Structure 1
Amino acid sequence: MSEPLLTEHDDRWIMNLRGQDVTRISIDHRLTLLLDSDARIALGCPFELSQGSKRTAESVVLDPGRQNVAAALGLFGATVVSAVAFKTGSMRLVFDNGCHLNCRAHPDYEAWEVLGPEGWRIVSGPGGGLAVWPGHAGGRKAEH
């Protein structure tokens, strides 16, 4: 039996992207990471990128709207270890190279979205919260 595509908890959704490699990075008004399952992670608002343990890591704020994302190029070839969408609208991704990507909700814009394998989708709504489409398994949009 395979793992579920999305797993809901009281305060978060676990996105089943574990083991997926970043195979392409594109930059326009957003930074988009394409994974080998054809999943996409698109960041349209500033986000933090750090490397190492949470206690000792220094983070840098990257802004896709200004194409200030050079530090994110180190994610190319990295493998997703953990992908969590918090119901507050924040997202945390952890990669096997020690990088941690954190993106908070934006008060006015959709800060990020993840389009997963088999059609599921999660979007961070303006002002916080998530819109979740479970894909082929569910079909209907759920607001959280």
Structure 2
Amino acid sequence: MDLGLHGQQVTTQSFDYTVSFQTSGGYELRIENDYTLHTPHGSWNFSPEPSNEDSRELAALADQRIDHAAVSSDGTLTVKFATGSELRVQASPSYEAWTVAGPRGMKVVCMPGGELATWKATDA
């Protein structure tokens, strides 16, 4: 499932036992599970903790343009950036792993086990 984030830029990051990214199009990506960041310079595994804000690799995502954001059938979220970096979050067997919320009530939540709960954007 394509999440429709192509061309949007990361505008804000926050780290508070979750990792959140806000985009120029009014979307928020919230990560609540372990995740992996692949860059042209290497790969790193993270847990969503406040200490991640000191990560040079995560800080480099600020102001980057998203090329593609999609969810696979097993609930894995993949966000690809224009610089070649890729953020990947797998589903958790026990709790919600990630959420993408957008304008007008659009929301996709990765439920335990990888099932997706989705809400479409309203017309109003």
- For the criterion TM > 0.5, the same-fold answer is yes
1:86 to 54, 65, 72: 72
> In 2, Cα distance between the equivalents of 1:38 and 1:67?
26
> Unpaired segments of 5 or more residues in structure 2?
none
> In 1, Cα distance between the equivalents of 2:5 and 2:82?
12
1:1-144 alignment runs, 5 A limit: 13-52=1-40, 58-65=42-49, 67-68=51-52, 70=55, 71-136=57-122
> Unpaired segments of 5 or more residues in structure 1?
1-12, 138-144
Aligned residues between the structures: 121
Deviation string 1:77-100 (CA, Å, 9 cap, x unpaired) is 000100001231110000011110
Kept in 2: contact 1:28–1:64 (CA 8 A): yes
RMSD: 1.5
Q: TM-score, normalised by structure 2?
A: 0.90
- Report the alpha carbon displacement of residue 32 of structure 1 after superposing the two structures with TM: 0.2
Q: Which structure has the larger Rg?
A: 1
Deviation string 1:30-75 (CA, Å, 9 cap, x unpaired) is 00000011200000111000013xxxx6321111146335221110
Q: TM-score, normalised by structure 1?
A: 0.78
Kept in 2: contact 1:88–1:130 (CA 8 A): no
Identity %, equivalent residues: 28
Structure 1 stretches of 4+ with a deviation exceeding 6 A read none
> In 2, Cα distance between the equivalents of 1:22 and 1:66?
18
| Secondary structure, aligned partner of 2:104 | helix
| Secondary structure, aligned partner of 1:135 | coil
